[in-house]
Amino acid sequence: QQQVKQSPQSLIVQKGGISIINCAYENTAFDYFPWYQQFPGKGPALLIAIRPDVSEKKEGRFTISFNKSAKQFSLHIMDSQPGDSATYFCAAQAYGQNFVFGPGTRLSVLP
């Protein structure tokens, strides 16, 4: 129940396209859902996060869509750029608990 599932494992998108990464969870106690971006040789960096009281959050080209009833959330990267090529991790947290991370999606944006 602590698991966060993430798909796809890898994703190749053309420059200017939309990248979509999906995550699903079981634990209804989760109430905070961040996304992290990790470049090779670097630590994960917080990209964007959402709480379940909203269905969507947008920051620039990055949007989180949240479906509480389905226990799913997704990251959309609009107008994907080669500089977006990285590994993306979704995560979930219940209050007072540690974060649980998905296994990651390796995104490659072709020029």
Partner 1 sequence: NAGVMQNPRHLVRRRGQEARLRCSPMKGHSHVYWYRQLPEEGLKFMVYLQKENIIDESGMPKERFSAEFPKEGPSILRIQQVVRGDSAAYFCASSPGQLTTNYGYTFGSGTRLTVV
Residue ranges in contact with partner 1 by CB under 8 A: 6, 31-32, 34, 36, 41-46, 49, 51, 89, 91, 93-104
Spatial strand order of the sheet with 19-25 comes to 4-7, 19-25, 72-77, 62-67, 56-59
Pick 43 or 111: Cβ nearer partner 1:
43
Closest contact distance (angstroms) between CB of 73 and partner 1 is: 14
| Shortest distance (Å) from residue 51 CB to partner 1 | 7
Shortest separation between residue 44's beta carbon and partner 1, angstroms: 5
Q: Which two tokens stand for residue 24?
A: 């699903």
